[in-house]
Amino acid sequence: MSLQVSLLNNTFANPFMNAAGVMCSTTDDLVAMTESASGSLVSKSCTPAPREGNPSPRYKDLPLGSINSMGLPNKGFDYYLAYALSQHHYGAKPLFLSMSGFSAEENAAMCERLAAVATEKGVILELNLSCPNVPGKPQVAYDFDAMRRYLTAVSAVYPHPFGVKMPPYFDIAHFDMAAAVLNEFPKVKFVTCINSVGNGLVIDVESETVVIKPKQGFGGLGGRYVLPTALANVNAFYRRCPEKLIFGCGGVYSGEDAFLHVLAGASMVQVGTALHEEGAGIFARLCSELQQIMGKKGYKTLDEFRGKVKTLE
């Protein structure tokens, strides 16, 4: 039996990686991910200049998931580009770099510089179109004209295949419109579904107080709250974007959760809230649990069941 995944000219030992934002902001974090049993890793969404992000507390683990409003704290594009450059090309775990500039032009400028490192080191871009947490900055992917402008600007300067990180959608018409935009861009080779369910509000009943400080307590939800939304978005884009790969993200705590993401259509499977809770040891557990389920069902590879979720008649 094998958990191997081959895509974008890379082979991954298994489909698991961190979700951007978790265990990926510093060199220490990225080394911990590299030394874990994950198949891959992605670095924190970056901006041209370093950012401190929003005031703390800005992340809270909860029984059913998490809420966060980090505000894009990151060490700046140059830091993650230097990390990518420091990596060995051969034998190393493939690295994704997440980018979240504040305009089409900022992203294009970073992409012009990333291009050479992508050629030399094989780093793969995940362009974040779905950051919900910066006050006064609406999510790009909830504005289809803005999304088209960003993808046009990046496609014009970036010669490599890349992926996009999408927010959840909740209406069939929006699945149709978002997929139609993505399908205009042949360099977009993977679609990561989903980012957090934006702007939830968690209130502690005893203290009658919100649990995070930024944005009057409003923040992105992850974890158990979001698994069905994540599976729906993975499958919606899997059905609508037959030329692209889908990366699943949202609510993965167990091998069974990952199995469901692959059934819905996922190629890679990202882990956010559960990784934050459990630490990098989670990847060995997820691999063994996923293999155990595949064994029981008689599957030898992920390809045998990817996207094969059954519907009723």
The residues that are catalytic are 131
Q: Least CB distance from residue 169 to ligand DHB, whole Å?
A: 15
Backbone φ and ψ for 169, nearest 5 degrees, come out as: -115, 160
Q: Least CB distance from residue 35 to ligand DHB, whole Å?
A: 24
- Residue number with CB closer to ligand DHB (76 or 307): 76
In order of 9, 263, 273, 292, the CA distances from 256 in angstroms are: 28, 10, 16, 9
Residues near ligand DHB, by CB under 6 A: 21, 45, 53, 69-73, 100, 128, 130-133, 195-196, 220
- Residue number with CB closer to ligand DHB (52 or 313): 52
Q: Least CB distance from residue 294 to ligand DHB, whole Å?
A: 31
244, 189 in Cβ contact below 8 A?
A: yes
74, 46 in Cβ contact below 8 A?
A: yes
- Residue number with CB closer to ligand DHB (72 or 246): 72
261, 304 in Cβ contact below 8 A?
A: no
Shortest-Cβ-distance residue relative to ligand DHB: 70
- Residue number with CB closer to ligand DHB (141 or 287): 141
245, 275 in Cβ contact below 8 A?
A: no
Q: Least CB distance from residue 103 to ligand DHB, whole Å?
A: 15
Cα–Cα distance, 235 to 194 (Å, whole number): 11
Cα–Cα distance, 116 to 293 (Å, whole number): 41
- Residue number with CB closer to ligand DHB (101 or 122): 101
Q: Which positions ≥6 away from 240 have C-beta within 8 Å? A: 175, 176, 179, 180, 183
Q: Least CB distance from residue 20 to ligand DHB, whole Å?
A: 7
